[in-house]
Amino acid sequence: MSNTSRSLNVAIIGGGMFFDDIIGQTFKDFMRGGIAGALNSIGMSHLAADVADVEIRVSAVGTRSERSGTAGRIVDWFAEDFPDRPIEACYGETVWNDIIARHQPDVLFVATPDHVHTRPILDALDAGCDIVTEKPLCLTMSEADRIIAKADAADRIVAVDMHKRFDPFVRDMMLNANEKYGSINRVRTVLEEPLEVSTDIFAWAEQSNPFAYVGCHWLDVVHHYLKVKPVSVFATGQKNLLLNWDKHHAEIARRRGVDPSSFKRRGSINTWDSIDVAVTYDTGMRGDYNNNWINPAEFEGAVNQEIELYGIYGRGLVDQQERGFREAVIGDGSRTRNPSFGGRMRHIGGNLELFGYGKASICSGLLAIIRRRLLGESLASLDETYPTARSQRDIVQVIEAASAVAEKNFEHFAAGRGTPVTAQLTESEIRIIEP
């Protein structure tokens, strides 16, 4: 859509939790030096010469509410490094349509809340854009199928920011899993987000759940590397702290020695504290996925994340807290750090640059778009090089099934009937099995 054949015009909607730390800084790096320098992080450095002259431009940033001023703040932040490259701050309920009409981007980067991915993706595909979207792709199979069908019909790329796929520790274990451990009997994963995510940062927590929000990362890793297909789902969840946040937040404030009014939300939050999901795969392997977003701020890491494989000949474990980088700082306590995700370095010339798998994931999607748009490669030839929309269909199916099963089991448990509900997955449907 842009007139320059060796450039990509990018528009961004949403200014989410990791915008300044990962998304925005990644695009600053790409605006400054292009994409070629980041290709070694995704095993594609052999293409560096082919894409070295491709200019990445950000033309607009859009968010829903003008009152929040988020888009304007982001634009001002970009202007600190690129005063000669104006970016427009846009606002509105369907801000992406205004941006597409005015700026005609090649790429729409979707960083909106979980439940607000589908419509901008579909509208952008109709306008001829390629897409990079934050995870999860969407929350229902019907939405996923519409996105996949429209992307195929439009011959466009929809890439999903599934950054755990590019974590070098995880990638090394998963790539060698079958050779080292033999047939995998079980996978156990944990991903726990801090309490502030569900109570302060995300006003939309009630529209999603911790399994959809972060469990999708481990689902993607397992499905991508082990090439398994889910056939049944069992799920239970807990609604204690957040559902009764109006009663519990004052006690948490007291324990921390802060004013209860310092919490942005003080009323009941009708969402899950945690969800535990068991998936049986076509190989007979079991996957256990444990997720919450009520981890105390006092926990030593930004998140708690683990993945463990149990095979017939051995086992492997990647535990974020055991990678070995710990600090003890007055006023901050003892903390573990994860520069593998979003490490930073400032060069002698003064430029800040990001490295890590958070940037790598975005790079993989943009590279696929460059290869399709500018190098003329086919969608089929790019299929395994980035997290495609089609690769997310099974993940969305598990998310939808787990949400339905957990809700029904919660109702049965409250009525004293245990947790008897499961779901059977077929290629076309989710069959809820309920006594």
Domains and CATH numbers, the chain: 7-164+342-388 (3.40.50.720), 165-340 (3.30.360.10)
Backbone phi and psi for residue 190, each to the nearest 5 degrees, phi listed first: -135, 135
In tens digits, the chain (435 residues) has pLDDT values of 444 469 999 999 998 778 989 999 999 999 999 999 999 999 999 999 999 999 999 999 999 988 888 999 999 999 999 999 999 999 999 999 999 999 999 999 999 999 999 999 999 999 999 999 999 999 999 999 999 999 999 999 999 999 999 999 999 999 999 999 999 999 999 999 999 999 999 999 999 999 999 999 999 999 999 999 999 999 999 999 999 999 999 999 999 999 999 899 999 999 999 999 999 999 999 999 999 999 999 999 999 999 999 999 999 999 998 888 999 999 888 999 999 999 999 887 778 999 999 999 999 999 999 999 999 999 999 999 999 999 999 999 999 999 999 999 999 999 999 999 999 999 999 999 999
Q: What is the pTM of this model?
A: 0.95
Whether the CB-CB separation of 327 and 302 falls below 8 Å is answered with: no
Classify residue 390 by burial, with Cβ atoms within 10 Å: 0-12, 13-18, 19+: middle
Cis check: omega of the bond before 136, within 30 degrees of 0: yes
